[in-house]
């Protein structure tokens, strides 16, 4: 039995996230319908983590078991022939038997994109959060510094998810704000993420960029562990899973 590791790119606009949810269109469901057409048996695909409805990926990782002997390169072409235009397998390789896309991951990197100008962009409507008011990106970076390191991120967790995780402690190793004219991008790398954690961080840092929160307020929000003190949960279309490191 082979254990195949896939790297997948997708536009999540039309999908209800990664995870199978009944008859709803999801990335996992679409892959589990396409792959058996090539390997000639049912598969259960394991993703590195769930992405929410409307969220995108450049480097989602997944693995599945197969008895097929088709080489990885040919598998890519075969699977992609059965996938819709919004989803593509961009890399495939044989992995060790004990490789697990979720539990073997060392860290993940997400990018959150903001369009910061008065006018909206039809081309970026599914790729970025449109914030009209000018953002003070140095203030956002100052606020972000308080979130680096190992902390309890309960204040940046969806309340609906709080009961489903054993701990809300995570370690952020990179949280960087980059600006190129009207495009502001947040890059976040951590050993794990809570549900809506990146979007909650993005929403809070935008409040700092609008001077509705002081950079030091972010430290207080983190210490009080109270989600209601933070900024809004940023919309999903700006979020993209960039890389999973093993």
Active-site residue list: 52
CA 35 to chain centre: 23
> 240 pairs with which residues across the strands?
56, 111
Instruction: Report the distance separating Cα 194 and Cα 170, nearest Å.
Output: 8
Whole-Å CA distances, 93 to 8, 160, 164, 198, 219 = 12, 36, 32, 29, 42
121, 128 Cβ separation under 8 angstroms: yes
CA 171 – CA 76 distance, rounded (Å): 34
């Amino acid at each position: 039995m082979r254990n195949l590791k896939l790297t997948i790119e997708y536009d999540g606009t039309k999908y209800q996230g990664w995870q199978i949810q009944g008859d709803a269109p999801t990335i996992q469901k679409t892959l589990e319908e396409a792959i058996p057409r090539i390997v000639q048996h049912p598969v259960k695909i394991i993703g590195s983590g769930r992405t929410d409805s409307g969220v995108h990926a450049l480097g989602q990782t997944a693995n599945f078991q197969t008895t097929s002997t088709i080489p990885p390169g040919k598998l890519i072409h075969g699977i992609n022939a059965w996938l819709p235009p919004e989803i593509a397998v961009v890399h495939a390789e044989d992995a060790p038997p004990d490789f697990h896309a979720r539990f073997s991951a060392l860290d993940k990197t997400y990018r959150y994109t903001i369009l910061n100008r008065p006018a909206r962009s039809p081309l970026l409507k599914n790729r970025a959060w449109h914030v009209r008011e000018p953002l003070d990106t140095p203030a956002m970076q100052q606020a972000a510094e308080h979130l680096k390191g190992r902390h309890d991120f309960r204040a940046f967790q969806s309340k609906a998810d709080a009961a489903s995780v054993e701990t809300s402690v995570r370690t952020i190793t990179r949280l960087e704000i980059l600006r190129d004219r009207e495009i502001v991008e947040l890059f976040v790398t951590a050993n794990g993420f809570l549900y809506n954690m990146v979007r909650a961080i993005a929403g809070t840092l935008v409040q700092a960029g609008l001077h509705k929160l002081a950079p030091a307020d972010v430290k207080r929000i983190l210490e009080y562990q109270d989600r209601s003190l933070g900024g809004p949960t940023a919309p999903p279309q700006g979020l993209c899973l960039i890389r999973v490191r093993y």
